[in-house]
Structure formats: structure tokens, C-alpha cells
Structure 1
Amino acid sequence: MTQVINHGGGVHSIKVPIPDNPLGHTLVHLLDTDRGPVLIDTGWDDPEAWDTLTAGLASVGVGIADIHGVVITHHHPDHHGLSGQVREASGAWIAMHAADTAIVRRTRESEPGTWLAYLAAKLTTVGAPEDHIAPLLAAREKGGRMRTLPGLRAAVPDREIVPGELLDLAGRTLRAIWTPGHTPGHVCLHLEEDHPASLPGRGRLFSGDHLLPGISPHVGLYEDPDDATAATDPLGDYLDSLERIGRLGVAEVLPAHQYAFADAAGRVQELLDHHEERLTGLLALLAEPLTPWQLAERMEWNRPWEQIPYGSRNIAVSEAESHLRRLVKLGRAEALAGSDPVTYVAV
């Protein structure tokens, strides 16, 4: 399998593997600039991923020490994982939106057990069964953070990506577009240059996980464990961000997974329709009062609920909550007063 794709105009992508993940790989993009090559995302912090990244760079004549900068679309470990190792090997700067940099800092600085306690409390609130919460409480009692979790020691970025502004890339015109939803600080990057193959449209878009050709990204909650009062609307953020991207009129999208594609506006509309259909389906389920956990159990996933692994159930419930938040904000559902755990019903 070809690990490196030449997209023309000084842009390559490298397929960097994600261990034990159905997505398979992250497309790490390499952008030539007048000050040296710049990476857009880096891949998972894993020896095989590192070897694939460095071999891919070498195949186009770039050594890891040559990397001038790293631009991160969002903080997730399959995107930001190798950033620190790249910086150590090259002295490159790392740029990220401030909202995601805050998550990186918070994760690194959190006290042992803080996240486990928060997650256990959240799951109790949404109606998770006791046998699901018990392992979290047991791990917290042992006093250790779950050191197998990715992102605990992720590199702290040293530059801020400012929405709407051009990144400081000599000889290139790359503009940051804030697209919260998948994470609070997710950015897409608009290369405002003529397409090398003269495709019609306004340049190319490095879309991270925001706009993918064949799958819809996870949109769950993104609260701060230290701020239980925050009531964000990630799905609303995501849908608004999608519409913003759809209006750009780009010639081609270079996502972080799957493959490059044209017709961004068409794909945006598909995703908007998908989420509207999903919200409508959830309203039908909410004809009877349900907790977020019960709603997640009844929602349609890529496999039956009984086959969804433990950690993925937490992600699924978070996604159910983000949809509930949207329905409540739209006035299409409401929480039943006095219910514990909280239940929701369509209105």
C-alpha cells in the first residue's frame, strides 16, 4: 500500500497507522514552505507510527530534523500524539487553537483520580448502571491515574492558532477557520491558493476530523471537569461550523482520515441531513421519558449495544447527551423536573 500521496503544489500526505483502531490511519499532511517543511497533524504516539512518519518523509527527501513547524487541527492523540517527538527531533514549533491547548494543559496538570471521579459522577447522573461505574471507582480508590490512556503527557503547543488569521508560513497562504464541535478548539485550514490541477473552487481545505468523506465524526460533550456549571452545545457548534465550511466553496478537501474529495458543499449537506434525521429519530424514542444512558442504548450505532466495548459506551453516551442538549436548546425536548437520574422527554 502506498503510504505517501503527492497532492501537487507542495502538498503530500502520509498514512500514519493508528494502533488497534478501525479508522486505520491518520493522514498527516506535509506542506512545503519557504522556511522549511511543515506538518499538519502528526499521528499517534506509537513506535510504528513514528517509523511510518519518518519513512514517509524520507521518501520525499525530508528528514525529521528538517521540519520547521507543526500545525495541529485538534488535540486528539491520533493527531497530536507525535508532536512532542517531532519537536524534540527538529526544534519545530507546535501551533494549536487556545481551547484545545487548554485541554492539553489541564490533562497534564490534573491530579490523580480527578478525571475518574468526574467521569463516575457524570455517568451516575446520566443513569449508567452500577456495574459500569464500579471499575472507575475502583481505579480511583487505588489512587492512580489510568496511565494507559493516551494524551496524559501530550506536548504543550508553543504557538496559538488564531481563527480567521493567516498562519505564519513563508510563501504559503494558509488561513485558520475555527470549527468547534468534534473538539472545542478544532480548526480547519484553508490553503487559499489556486488548485494545482486547476479544479474549480477556492483552494484546498485541510479539514482534520471536521469534514470526512464517508463518516460522521464523534460529537460528544466537552466540559471541563473543574467546571460542572458549563452547559455547552457541541452539536450546535458542529452544525454551525459545517455550514461555515460549506460556504467556502473549496475545490478539494484533504481530510485527516479516509481520502481526499471534491464537492465539500455536497458532503456538508449530507452531514446536516444526517444529523437532522438522527435528531428526528431521537424525538421518536423520547416519546417516553429516558435517561441519556437509556437513549444511548436505543440509538443506532455501527453495532448492537451489547457488542460495544466499555470505553466506547462512554463515548456513545456522551454523543447521546450532545444530541439531547441540541434538542433541549431547540425546544424540542426537556428534562423532567425532579428526575434522578435525569430523564428527558419530547415536547
Structure 2
Amino acid sequence: MAQASEARVIAHGGGVWSMRVPIPDNPLGYTLVHLMETDRGPVLIDTGWDDPGSWDTLVAGIAACGAEVGDVHGVLITHHHPDHHGLSAKVREASGAWIALHDADADVVRRTREHAPARWYGYMADKLAAAGAPAEHVAPLLAARDAGRTPRLPGLAPALPDRSIVPGELLPLAGRRLRAIWTPGHTPGHVCLHLEEAHPAGLPGHGRLFSGDHLLPGITPHIGLYEDPDDATAVAPSPSSRPRPSGGDPLGDYLDSLERVGRLGVAEVLPAHQHAFTEARPRVRELLTHHEERLTQLRTLLTEPRTPWQLAEHMQWNRPWADIPYGSRNIAVSEAEAHLRRLVKLGRAEAVAGSDPVTYVACGA
């Protein structure tokens, strides 16, 4: 394929490109969709947000790499979020490409497709009320649900995958050595993809890593809760023999996954946001330290009983709580709950018996 010259497309060498596919009205700006040559044809790693402008950018980006969208042989999805999986169905329709996803995220996709938006509004309202959210925050969700005014939310009709990404196995890509690394935390089925080939520029290290949202150069990925309306794995281990994360401790899953990625010793990381970078191990250490410091700060806040909502109100964010938009507050509470669960599992916090909504307090040494 030809050398890419489009401003939004970067040639990384060794038959790998990245394309900036915009995310409408989002501070992240874009998803880095990667294209990788194989002997069977180009394969995409993620696809970007389902939006007409994003689709046009993706098609133009593929063309700048010297191919056409109809040439795409397969689509590998790092995780099910709409800025990664949103355009997968359109790519498949245009090319006949297969779509592959880890089974844990594929299960989320199936459940997501089965429920009407009203079910999700009610579920979110119940979760927020249980976390101690004030009635005025929960009321708009209940009003929209009860009045039938529930517009379809982004990502509620994602494409069903055709194949499973199996952790630890080499993916069946002709002429390439790409191994799936299961990295739950950001989602239950998030995967990084390890290109076990010498770096094209001769950089020292063991290949390159397509890291999705797991490892980013300047952003700490959101770690919230895994639950959705029918997710039994949130409260009990799945009887399935397939690999599953611990639904009750997403932050613990993420920290374990970080250490696993750090041990790979890759020469370069190709993330889904921001830019490629080479300092994987130092970045892993930064993130591990960040979360340990955050847990320590939260434990200090729990010298008095607090609900997850109250904890989120007092946590350090990138802006004052009063300035955080409605939807972002919901995400913040989910992140507070993920950290609480980690503290409880470590024996550093506990629920206060009889409290409703449930409050938590620090305990142990």
C-alpha cells in the first residue's frame, strides 16, 4: 500500500497506520483507529464513533493508506465503547469483514441490544439512588423513562461480533504475529493487542502494543463499574469456563492488568487516544502510583461515613464538583464506587450496617 500523506493519518512503519476519527462534541477529540496490513488484506483495530462525519473521515483515512473500505478483511475491537466499536457494523456492511471482540464485552453488547432505552434509564436511576444521589439528580431520568421520552443513547445498538478474541492466543492474521492480552478494568472485556514483531525503526523492546484505552500517555482511563441490567457477573462469578473479570473489583482488575502489560517490555505503545509513545513501563508505574495515592486520599475522606455520591463530591477531579456536568457526575460516582470496592476488598473500608443509602467508613490498619 502507498505511503500515507493525509494530515489525519500517520504511518508508523511495518505496515501499520493510525487515523484520527473524530468523536463529536467530546473533549477527547478523536479515536486513533489503526490499520494493519496482512497477507489477506487490511485489518482495522477499532473503528470510531458512529457519525456521518466520522465515517467519512474513516473512509478517507483508509484511502490515504492506499486501500479502500471494501478491502478491509477484519475488525479487531479493543472494547465495546461507542468511540471504538461504533462504526464496526458499517465497515462490515461495506466490506464483508468479520468483527472480533472479547467474550466478556460481547456479552455486554448482546445485553445492550436486548433492552429498550427506558430499561437503561430506570436502571441508572436505581443505581444513582442507591449510591446516595439527591432526588433532584435522579428525577430527570425517572421523568424521561415514565413519559416515554428516552432517546436512543449512543452505543445501545452495537454490532454483534462474528468472532471471539481469545486471551493469550495469536490472532489468525496471515503474515502477522498479533497476540491478544486480556486487560479488564476499563471494561470487563478490554484487550490490548501485542504485535510480536521487531520494531520497524529498530527501537529496543519486545514489539508494539495496540493499547486501546488501557494505557494512554497523558490520560488516566476511567475505571467505573461493570454492571448493566442483566449482568449477573457483577455480584457472583460466572459459571462459564471463559475468562471473566471479578465483577466486584474493576479497579483491582485494572491494576492487575497494568502490571501484566508492564511486564511485556514493549518498544512502543499505539493507544486509541492522544499519540504513540515509547515509555510503557514508566507510564505503568505512574498509573499504579496514581491509583494508590487516590485510594489513600479516599480512605482519609472515609474517616466519617459517606455514600458513594458524597465521596464523589469530595474527590479531586479536573474541575470543581459544582462545574461538573450532569452526565459526568454519573461517571464520577461510578468511579468512586469502583475505588470503594477496592478499599473494601483490601479491608481498608467497610459498609456501615443499617445505613440507607449505604455509607462507608474507613477500617483496618
Does the TM-score normalized on the shorter chain lie above 0.5? yes
Task: Name the structure 2 match of 1:74.
Answer: 79
Distance (whole Å) between structure 1 residues aligned to residue 249 and residue 27 of structure 2: 27
Deviation at 1:59, TM superposition (A): 1.2
Alignment of 1:30-49 (within 5 A): 30-49=35-54
Task: Name the structure 2 match of 1:232.
Answer: 248
Q: 1:160 aligns with which of 164, 176, 191?
A: 164
Q: Which one-letter code corresponds to 1:76 in the other structure?
A: H
Task: Name the structure 2 match of 1:209.
Answer: 213
Distance (whole Å) between structure 2 residues aligned to residue 317 and residue 79 of structure 1: 23
2:19 corresponds to 1:14: yes
Task: Name the structure 2 match of 1:223.
Answer: 227
Deviation at 1:112, TM superposition (A): 4.5
- 1:64-102 deviation digits (Å, cap 9, x = unpaired): 100000000000000000000000000000000011111
Distance (whole Å) between structure 2 residues aligned to residue 144 and residue 110 of structure 1: 15
Q: What TM-score do you get using the length of structure 2 for normalisation?
A: 0.93
Alignment of 1:230-309 (within 5 A): 230=236, 232-309=248-325
CA contact (8 A) 1:167 1:173 kept: yes
Q: Which one-letter code corresponds to 2:169 in the other structure?
A: E
2:122 corresponds to 1:117: yes
Task: Name the structure 1 match of 2:134.
Answer: 129
Q: 1:328 aligns with which of 344, 347, 356?
A: 344
Alignment of 1:121-200 (within 5 A): 121-143=126-148, 145-147=150-152, 149-200=153-204
Distance (whole Å) between structure 2 residues aligned to residue 74 and residue 142 of structure 1: 33
Corresponding residue SS for 2:356: coil
Alignment of 1:77-96 (within 5 A): 77-96=82-101
Q: Which one-letter code corresponds to 1:201 in the other structure?
A: G
CA contact (8 A) 1:112 1:144 kept: no
- 1:118-158 deviation digits (Å, cap 9, x = unpaired): 111111111000000001111111235431x1111111111
Q: Which one-letter code corresponds to 1:213 in the other structure?
A: P
What is the root-mean-square deviation of aligned Cα atoms in Å? Answer: 1.1
Corresponding residue SS for 1:117: helix
2:106 corresponds to 1:101: yes
Distance (whole Å) between structure 2 residues aligned to residue 248 and residue 112 of structure 1: 41
Corresponding residue SS for 1:113: helix
Moved more, 196-205 or 112-121: 112-121
Q: Which one-letter code corresponds to 2:121 in the other structure?
A: L
Deviation at 1:117, TM superposition (A): 1.5
Moved more, 162-171 or 54-63: 54-63
- 1:268-290 deviation digits (Å, cap 9, x = unpaired): 00000000000001111111110
Task: Name the structure 1 match of 2:243.
Answer: none
Q: What TM-score do you get using the length of structure 1 for normalisation?
A: 0.98
Task: Name the structure 2 match of 1:52.
Answer: 57
CA contact (8 A) 2:235 2:248 kept: no
Q: Which one-letter code corresponds to 1:297 in the other structure?
A: E
CA contact (8 A) 1:291 1:342 kept: yes
Task: Name the structure 2 match of 1:28.
Answer: 33
The list of structure 1 runs, each at least 4 consecutive aligned residues, that deviate by more than 4 angstroms after superposition, is none
Moved more, 319-328 or 229-238: 229-238
CA contact (8 A) 1:191 1:204 kept: yes
- 1:192-223 deviation digits (Å, cap 9, x = unpaired): 00000010000000000000000100000011
Distance (whole Å) between structure 1 residues aligned to residue 65 and residue 229 of structure 2: 43
Distance (whole Å) between structure 1 residues aligned to residue 288 and residue 316 of structure 2: 17
CA contact (8 A) 1:209 1:217 kept: yes
CA contact (8 A) 1:162 1:176 kept: yes
Distance (whole Å) between structure 2 residues aligned to residue 163 and residue 201 of structure 1: 21
Aligned residues: 346
Q: Which one-letter code corresponds to 1:319 in the other structure?
A: E
Distance (whole Å) between structure 1 residues aligned to residue 308 and residue 189 of structure 2: 25
Q: Which one-letter code corresponds to 1:159 in the other structure?
A: R
